[in-house]
Chains A and B, each alone.
Chain A
Amino acid sequence: MFFSLAGCAGAARGAKPASVDMPRRDINAVLRDHDRELMAIPGVSGVYVGLLDDKKTQCLRVIVARKTPELERKVPRRLEGYRVVIEETGPIRPLTKQN
């Protein structure tokens, strides 16, 4: 399987569902092990460790210039228990100015 999807809904029914969803590894290690796979998805220009909107919960944020249905299908919702959020940023460019 392309991505480890431990923690996805439906992975375990019944016994200890909460523990299945709990991140087990440091998020930086999870990023390190998955960034190449995420960057290989066409349209992905970056991935980083950020926070959810609650400003407390760590998550993986995937940078895309433009969000498409295909990207939403290809980018996993979770990786090893961490939420993965697609962030539409527009193109990322070096910021010199040209006249």
Chain B
Amino acid sequence: MDFRRLAGKISGALLPAFAAFSLLLAFGAAPQERAALSTSHVKIRQLMEIQEAVTPDLMANEDIIGTAIGADDDGQPSLIVYVNLEGRNPAEAVRSTPRTLRGANVTVEVVEPFRAMVGKPGGASHTAKQSFPIQLGTSGGFGYDLANGYCCGGTLGALVQIGGSQYILSNYHVFESDIVNGGNNLVAKNGDPIIQPGLIDVSCNLNNAQAVATLAVKKSLPDSNVDASVAQVIPGAVSGDILEIGSISSQIEPAVLGQLVKKSGRTTGLTRSSVSGLNATVSVTYDNECAGGTAFTKTFTGQIIINNKGSRFLNSGDSGSLMVQDADTNPRAVGLLYAGSSSLAVANPIGDVLSFLGATMVGK
């Protein structure tokens, strides 16, 4: 059992009780693991004593927002130090945190600030039907994405320019992955409606959504190295802004390890994270229509990996979101998000996407 990610989060005052609780949670499943690594284990007790002693000094740095007991990459008990991703200078907090404290291994994790789970206050709706011109980072998809008793949808990511026309950028599997007659007796084709919100947010009823663009089939998959598709904008229907991000730059930015990024998507709205991996080779399996059978498994290369603990950065319905650098003004695009798990997210490098499409970002 991997217990390192279950250690949790807590402020300094509750640390001893939390440590005991998190260990019980983490080791509750397997009796042999309980015996080996419970709070009665001498190594864990020692680590808890060290944690209690060093936490006040660590948290004197306002960007350090908690500590816990977990494990390092070798599975060895470790003191976890949580650094606030949205703090004043998280990179400096990571750099300045010692890797050992009083003989204990220290693992630094950069996380979003801890909040009571009462929902997001004040954020824009990413699922509501908007007035024209709509902002992107919103629910959307293929207008006929209804098959086998289900409807499907994702996110309308950003605006790109191809030739003299503007297009909405999203994923192949959001716009055009209906490739068999199957459960709805149609396949995606040029000119089909791309709608806002997506069918998933209008009770699967196309009449409750609005067409904002028309599909321009690109067949990026299975043969290319990007999961991308575009739809030509209906004049007046789409603004270049992205919900809660605003306008973006027309320039793009390559990903680097540790880079802070954000995205605006249908399900999780505006979220932030950091790049944790580069040059990834990743296999992803695609369906042949909504709730359909397997179409193919694609192995991508050169992909960007982003921290996605607990699916807090990216979740189902966020496919198609544009990932940008975490800058306040006109951020540059970094990647096109399309896949993930409950611990990591995967993006195509935006340069690869634009090259495949022969497109440029619409921005300032």
For residue A59, which residues in chain B have a CB less than 8 angstroms away from its CB? 73
Q: Mark A56-78, 1 if CB is under 8 A from B, else 0.
A: 00010101010100000000000
Q: Of all chain B residues, which has the CB nearest A93?
A: B339
Cβ of B78 within 8 Å of any chain A Cβ, yes or no, is: yes
Q: Which of these, B151, B199, B303, B316, contacts A95 with CB under 8 Å? A: B316
- In the complex, besides A39-B299, A54-B99, A95-B340, 11 extra interface pairs with C-beta distance below 8 angstroms are A39-B281, A46-B281, A89-B342, A92-B284, A93-B285, A93-B340, A95-B314, A95-B316, A97-B317, A99-B152, A99-B199
Would B174 and A96 count as touching, CB distance under 8 A? yes
Given A39-B283, A48-B280: A98 and B151 within 8 A (CB)? yes
- Specify which of B282, B291, B314 lies most central, judged by the most chain A CB atoms within 10 Å of its CB: B282
Given A97-B154, A98-B150: A46 and B283 within 8 A (CB)? yes
Q: How far is the CA of A35 from the CA of B319 in the complex (A)?
A: 26
For residue B150, which residues in chain A have a CB less than 8 angstroms away from its CB? 98-99
Tell me which residues from 26 to 67 in chain A have a Cβ below 8 Å from any Cβ of chain B.
28, 31-32, 35, 38-39, 45-55, 59, 61, 63, 65, 67
Q: How far is the CA of A91 from the CA of B285 in the complex (A)?
A: 10
B interface size (C-beta, 8 A): 60
Cβ of B266 within 8 Å of any chain A Cβ, yes or no, is: yes
Task: Please report the number of residue pairs spanning A and B whose Cβ atoms sit closer than 8 angstroms.
Answer: 140
Ranked nearest first, the 8 interchain pairs of A and B with the lowest CB-CB distance are: A48-B280, A97-B317, A48-B277, A46-B282, A95-B319, A50-B277, A90-B341, A89-B341
Mark B residues whose CB is within 8 Å of A: 2, 72-73, 78, 94, 99, 107-108, 141, 150-154, 171, 173-174, 198-200, 204, 227, 257-258, 266-267, 276-287, 290-291, 299, 301, 303, 305, 314-319, 337-346
Q: Mark A12-37, 1 if CB is under 8 A from B, else 0.
A: 00000000000000001001100100
Given A95-B318, A97-B267: A48 and B154 within 8 A (CB)? no
Given A97-B154, A97-B267, A98-B152: A48 and B279 within 8 A (CB)? yes
Mark A residues whose CB is within 8 Å of B: 28, 31-32, 35, 38-39, 45-55, 59, 61, 63, 65, 67, 83, 85, 87-99
- Specify which of B73, B339, B340 lies most central, judged by the most chain A CB atoms within 10 Å of its CB: B73
Would A96 and B344 count as touching, CB distance under 8 A? no
B215 to chain A, nearest CB (A): 15
For residue B171, which residues in chain A have a CB less than 8 angstroms away from its CB? 94, 96
Given A94-B319, A95-B315, A97-B152: A88 and B78 within 8 A (CB)? no
Q: List 22 A-B contacts (CB under 8 A).
A: A28-B278, A31-B279, A32-B279, A35-B301, A47-B280, A48-B277, A48-B279, A48-B303, A49-B279, A65-B341, A89-B341, A90-B342, A90-B343, A92-B282, A92-B284, A93-B340, A95-B315, A95-B340, A97-B153, A97-B154, A97-B317, A98-B290
Given A35-B281, A39-B283, A48-B277: A97 and B344 within 8 A (CB)? no
Would A45 and B283 count as touching, CB distance under 8 A? yes
Given A53-B72, A99-B200: A94 and B284 within 8 A (CB)? yes
Q: How far is the CA of A91 from the CA of B340 in the complex (A)?
A: 8
For residue A55, which residues in chain B have a CB less than 8 angstroms away from its CB? 94, 108, 258
Given A50-B305, A53-B107, A99-B151: A88 and B2 within 8 A (CB)? yes
B130 to chain A, nearest CB (A): 18
For residue A92, which residues in chain B have a CB less than 8 angstroms away from its CB? 282-284, 339-341, 344, 346
- Specify which of A32, A46, A52, A85 lies most central, judged by the most chain B CB atoms within 10 Å of its CB: A46
Given A50-B257, A98-B200: A93 and B108 within 8 A (CB)? no
Q: How far is the CA of A28 from the CA of B281 in the complex (A)?
A: 11
- Specify which of A48, A49, A53, A96 lies most central, judged by the most chain B CB atoms within 10 Å of its CB: A96
For residue B287, which residues in chain A have a CB less than 8 angstroms away from its CB? 94
Q: Of all chain A residues, which has the CB nearest B108?
A: A55
Q: Which of these, A46, A88, A93, contacts B280 with CB under 8 Å? A: A46
For residue B346, which residues in chain A have a CB less than 8 angstroms away from its CB? 92
Given A47-B280, A49-B279, A50-B277: A89 and B154 within 8 A (CB)? no
Q: Of all chain A residues, which has the CB nearest B94?
A: A55
